[in-house]
A and B are shown apart, each in its own frame.
Chain A
Amino acid sequence: MDKSLDIKAFLDADEKKDLLRLLTAGSVDDGKSTLIGRLLFDSKKLYEDQLTALERDSKRVGNAGAGQIDYALLLDGLKAEREEGITIDVAYRYFSTNARKFIIADTPGHEQYTRNMITGGSTANLAIILVDARTGVITQTRRHTFLVSLLGIKHIVLAVNKMDLVDFDQKVFNDITAEYLKLTDQLGIEDVTCFPLSALDGDNVVEKSQRTPWYEGPSLLDFLENVPIHLDRNMQDFRYPVQYVLRPNLDFRGFCAKIASGVVRKGDEIVALPSLKRSRVKSIVTYEGELQEAFCPQCVTLTLEDEIDISRGEMLVHPDNLPHIGRRFETMLVWMDEEPMNRGKQFFLKHNTNTTRATVDAVDFRVDVNTMEHLEGADLRLNEIASVRITTAKTLFFDSYAQNRATGNFVLIDPITNNTSAVGMIVRPIEDNDEAYDALPVLDLTKLGITAEQQQVVEKVVKELSRQGLEIKIIK
Chain B
Amino acid sequence: MSTYNISHLQELEAESIHIIREVAAEFENPVMLYSIGKDSSVMVRLAEKAFAPGKVPFPLMHIDSRWKFREMIEFRDSYAKKYGWNLIVESNEEAFNAGVGPFTHGSKVHTDLMKTKALLDALNKYKFDAAFGGARRDEEKSRAKERIFSFRDQFQQWDPKNQRPELWDIYNSRVHKGESIRVFPLSNWTELDIWQYIRLENIPIVPLYYAKERPCVEIDGNLIMADDDRLPKELLPQVKNRMVRFRTLGCWPLTGAVESEAATIEEIVEEMMTTTKSERTTRVIDFDQEASMEQKKREGYF
Binding site for B on A (CB under 8 A): 3-4, 7-8, 10-11, 14-19, 47-50, 77-80, 82, 88-94, 96, 101, 103, 115, 118-119, 122-123, 230, 233, 235, 243-244, 246-248, 252, 254, 256, 258, 263, 285-287, 295, 297-299, 301, 312, 336, 348, 350-353, 405-406, 409-411, 413, 418-420, 423
Given contacts A230-B4, A420-B172, contact A286 B49 (CB under 8 A): yes
When distances are taken between beta carbons in the complex, the residues of chain A under 8 Å from B166 are: 119, 420
Contact B192 A411 (CB under 8 A): no
Q: Contact between B175 and A411 (Cβ–Cβ < 8 Å)?
A: no
Q: How far is the CB of B210 from chain A (nearest CB, A)?
A: 15
Once bound together, how far apart are the Cα atoms of A8 and B174, in whole Å? 45
Q: How far is the CA of A256 from the CA of B188 in the complex (A)?
A: 22
Interchain Cβ contacts under 8 Å between A and B, 6 examples: A11-B199, A15-B196, A92-B144, A230-B3, A263-B4, A299-B18
Which residue in chain A gives the minimum CB-CB distance to B10?
A298
CB of B7, distance to nearest CB on chain A (Å): 5
A48-B187 Cα distance, complex, nearest whole Å: 23
A77 with B141: in contact, given A4-B266, A47-B276, A50-B278 (CB under 8 Å)?
A: yes
Known: A230-B5, A350-B172. A3 touches B270 (CB 8 A): yes
* A263→B12 CA distance, assembly (Å): 19
Chain A CB within 10 Å, residue with most, of B11, B161, B165, B175: B165
Question: Which 6 A-B residue pairs are closest in the complex by CB-CB distance?
Answer: A77-B141, A248-B54, A48-B276, A19-B8, A122-B167, A287-B49
Listed stretches B19-27, B85-93, B252-260; interface member: B19-27
Which of A93, A246, A350 contacts B170 (CB under 8 A)? Answer: A350
B143 → chain A closest CB, angstroms: 8
Interface class of chain A by DSSP: mixed
CA distance A78 to B293 in the complex (A): 10
Are B14 and A244 in contact (CB-based, < 8 A)? no
Question: Could you say which residues of chain B place their CB within 8 Å of the CB of A118?
Answer: 165, 167
With A11-B269, A419-B164, A420-B166 as contacts: A19 and B277 at CB distance below 8 Å: no
Task: Please count the residue pairs between chain A and chain B whose beta carbons lie under 8 angstroms apart in the complex.
Answer: 191
Residues of A within 8 A of B3 (CB): 230
Cβ B165 vs Cβ A420 within 8 A = yes
Contact yes or no, B277 A47, CB < 8 A: yes
> Is B290's CB under 8 angstroms from A79's CB?
yes
Question: Could you say which of B52, B266, B277 contacts A286, with CB atoms under 8 Å apart?
Answer: B52
Which chain B residue lies CB-closest to A89?
B145
Partner of A93, one of B8, B144, B160, B169: B144
**B167-191 toward A: CB 8 Å interface, digit per residue (1/0)?**
1111010111001000000011010
Known: A14-B196, A77-B141. A252 touches B53 (CB 8 A): yes
Q: Give A259's nearest chain B residue, CB to CB.
A: B14
Assembled-state Cα–Cα distance A115/B163 (Å): 11
| Docked CA distance A400–B300 (Å) | 40
Taking A91-B141, A297-B14, A312-B25 as known contacts, 20 extra A-B pairs with beta carbons closer than 8 A to each other, sorted by chain A number, are: A4-B270, A11-B266, A18-B7, A18-B8, A48-B277, A77-B142, A80-B161, A88-B161, A94-B137, A123-B168, A123-B169, A243-B21, A244-B24, A244-B51, A252-B53, A287-B48, A350-B172, A413-B174, A418-B172, A423-B167
CA distance A196 to B173 in the complex (A): 44
Chain A contacts of B175 at CB under 8 A? 418
Q: How far is the CA of A87 from the CA of B222 in the complex (A)?
A: 33
Q: Give bound CA distance, A287 to B266, whole Å.
A: 25
Indicate if B129 sits at the interface (CB-CB under 8 A): no
CB–CB B164/A420 < 8 A: yes
Q: Pick the residue among A7, A79, A256, A350 that contacts B270 (CB under 8 A).
A: A7
Residues A119 and B278 in contact, CB atoms below 8 Å apart: no
Docked-complex contact B142 and A78, CB < 8 angstroms? yes
**In the bound complex, do residue B167 and residue A103 qualify as a contact, i.e. CB atoms below 8 Å apart?**
no
Q: List the B residue with the shortest CB-CB distance to A423.
A: B167
Residues of chain B within 8 A (CB-CB) of A50 are: 278
Q: Which residues of B contact A94 (CB under 8 A)?
A: 137-138, 188, 190
Q: Is B17 an interface residue (CB 8 A)?
A: yes
A345 CA / B161 CA spacing, docked (Å): 26
Partner of A7, one of B21, B179, B267: B267
User: Closest CB of chain B to A334's CB: distance in Å?
Assistant: 9
Complex CA gap A122/B171 in Å reads 13
